[in-house]
Every structure is written in C-alpha cells, then in structure tokens.
Amino acid sequence: MTDAIDTKALIAHAKNIRRTIVEMIYRAKCSHIGCSLSAADILTALYFGVLRLDPLNPNDPNRDRLIMSKGHGVAALYATLAERGFFARDELDLYGTDGTRLANHVVRNALPGMETSNGSGGHGLSLGIGMAIAVRNAGNGARVFVVSGDGELEEGSVWEALLFGSHHQLANVTMVVDQNGMQSEGSTETIVDIEPLADKFHAFGWDVAVINGHDFTQLIPAMRVSGSRPRVVIAKTTKGKGVSYMENKWQWHNGSPNDEQYKIAMEELL
C-alpha cells in the first residue's frame, strides 16, 4: 500500500460498503446491522490502506492476514471483500437464501478472502497469534490483523492470547477493537464494564493507540505502525454509523430495517 491516504476515495468505498450492508440485511431480513456499520470504516481502512494482499491470489503465503473475530459483523466483511474485488458483488445476492454458504457469521472459505470461521467471541486473537508465529518463522514480513468487538473482550481466552503475544513479542500482530460501546442487550458499560481498556492492554504488554474509528487519517496511520511489540488499536466507533436512526442504539445490534427504514437509510447513504 502506498503512503498517501486518499480520504476521498476511502469515503467513497466506505459508502458503497455501507450501502451493500444495508441492502443485504434488508433483503435477507437478518442480521447484525449496527455492528457491521460500526466496523465499515475499519475494514475499509484495512483493505484499501493497510493490508498487503492481492484479491486475485487470496492464498498467497506472503499475504497480510485479516481475521474477523467479531464474526457477527460478517456483512461488513462480505461487502468490503466485494468492494476490494475478491469476488463479484452479485455473489452477495445469495445472502439470506436457503442453501447459501453465506452465513450470518464468518465461515472460512465461504467466499475468497475469508480466512477463518468466527462467530463465537474470543477465538480470533489466538488464531492470529498462531498465524503470526508461522509467518514470523517464515520471515516473509507478513502481518496479522484481528478485528475484535468490544463486548467480545469479556471472553477470557482473549486475555490468554494477550499474555502470550507480549511474552513472545509478536510485533507482527495488531488487534483492532471496534469499540462501539454496545453489545447484544445494552451498553458494554452497564453489562460488564471493560474499561479502562487502554490501561489493561498496556498492563498486558501491548502498545496501544486510541483513535477515532471513523477517521481515515487516524485509522490508517495507527494500523500501519509496526513497532517492536504487538499492538492494539482501540477504534472508538458509533454503532449503526451512517444511518441516523440506528446510531448509538443497541437495539440495532441485530435486526433489519423495514421498507420505510430501508428507504431512509439508502437516502442517507447516498
């Protein structure tokens, strides 16, 4: 990826991705829309500004890896991979139909570019750590990115992986936390508070950056950094970002818009 950040182009990609997300979920009448919209800019930044990969050679051993640990945000991943050219966008027309391979959570190889199966929280970082050891041993310079939800950080396995990652100085791993502050039944703060998050990651020996997860001029530099320690980018995001009536409403964690709501959403995402 080149160093210049073309914000205008990134905003256009992110808009297309959000439109695809809303369309898919509206048509299929399922499923996790708010947490897909919150992750849209993170994935746009990664796939168009950070990851070194070739959509036409998705199994290249030297590729950077992206693990979508927050598997319920799969619509954002489908839409981003299509936008990046891993497959034709009309592949996504099958989403929500009987017999499709396109589940509501991430399934490895359901479409090109889908590295792992995720949907149960807290699996992604350990998978990423394993990949990071392998590519470090291979010496090919590849990096591993794990996109995690914030509610998911309630899973203990994440903290096992954090311990291991810093002990072995796996500097080629970056975990990006899509911190939209909400989980299935309400705000993370009221369910099981995970703050102070940056302090916790620091204490576990990881470098930490806290940024606005909807600002490409912050996202891309923060995720391009490759230091001497593993790294967490806490991306502060808005659940439902881009659709006014969904923003910051935990009720839109999971659900699909009705006809009227769909119309409004698509007008707002023009």
Partner 1 sequence: MRFEVVKAIYQAGLEDKRVCFISGDYGHANTEEFKRDFPGRYFNAGMSEQNIIGMAAGLALSGMKVFVYSIVPFITLRCLEQIKIDVCHHNVDVTIIGGGGGFAYANAGVTHYAIEDIAVLRALPNMKIISPSNPTEARLLMQAVIKAGGPAYVRIGRGKEPDFELEYKPEIGKAGIVRSGDDITLIASGAIVAEAIRVRDMFKEQGISVEVANMHTIKPLDGDFIRARAGTRRAIFTLEEHNIIGGLGGAVAEVLAELPQRPLFKRFGVPDRWPDVVGSQQYLRDAVGIGAREVAEKIRDFLR
Site of interaction with partner 1 (CB under 8 A): 61, 108, 115-118, 120, 122-123, 125-138, 156-157, 160-161, 163-164, 168
Tell me whether residue 161 or residue 209 sits nearer to partner 1 (CB atom). 161
Q: How far is the CB of 19 from partner 1 (least distance, A)?
A: 31
Tell me whether residue 1 or residue 133 sits nearer to partner 1 (CB atom). 133
d(CA 136, CA 17): 32
Beta bridge partners of residue 240, listed in sequence order: none
Tell me whether residue 73 or residue 128 sits nearer to partner 1 (CB atom). 128
Q: How far is the CB of 51 from partner 1 (least distance, A)?
A: 16
Map tokens 């590849």 to a residue: 142
Instruction: Give the dihedral sign, CA 70/73/76/77.
Output: positive
Q: How far is the CB of 191 from partner 1 (least distance, A)?
A: 21
Q: How far is the CB of 102 from partner 1 (least distance, A)?
A: 16
* DSSP string for residues in 180-204: -SEETTEEHHHHS---SHHHHHHHT
Contact (Cβ atoms closer than 8 angstroms) between residue 101 and residue 107? yes
Tell me whether residue 23 or residue 64 sits nearer to partner 1 (CB atom). 64
Q: How far is the CB of 254 from partner 1 (least distance, A)?
A: 20
Tell me whether residue 62 or residue 258 sits nearer to partner 1 (CB atom). 62
Map tokens 């796939």 to a residue: 47
Tell me whether residue 19 or residue 168 sits nearer to partner 1 (CB atom). 168
* DSSP string for residues in 26-78: HHHT-S--HHHHHHHHHHHHHHHHT----TT-TT-TTS-EEEESSGGGHHHHH
What is the DSSP-derived secondary structure letter of residue 207? E
Cβ neighbourhood burial of 3 (10 Å; 0-12, 13-18, 19+): exposed
Q: How far is the CB of 67 from partner 1 (least distance, A)?
A: 8
d(CA 120, CA 217): 31
Tell me whether residue 20 or residue 126 sits nearer to partner 1 (CB atom). 126
Q: How far is the CB of 236 from partner 1 (least distance, A)?
A: 27
128 membership: H or E segment, kind and range: helix 124-138
Give the contacts of 165 (CB within 8 A, at least 6 positions apart).
Answer: 125, 129, 132, 173, 205, 206, 230
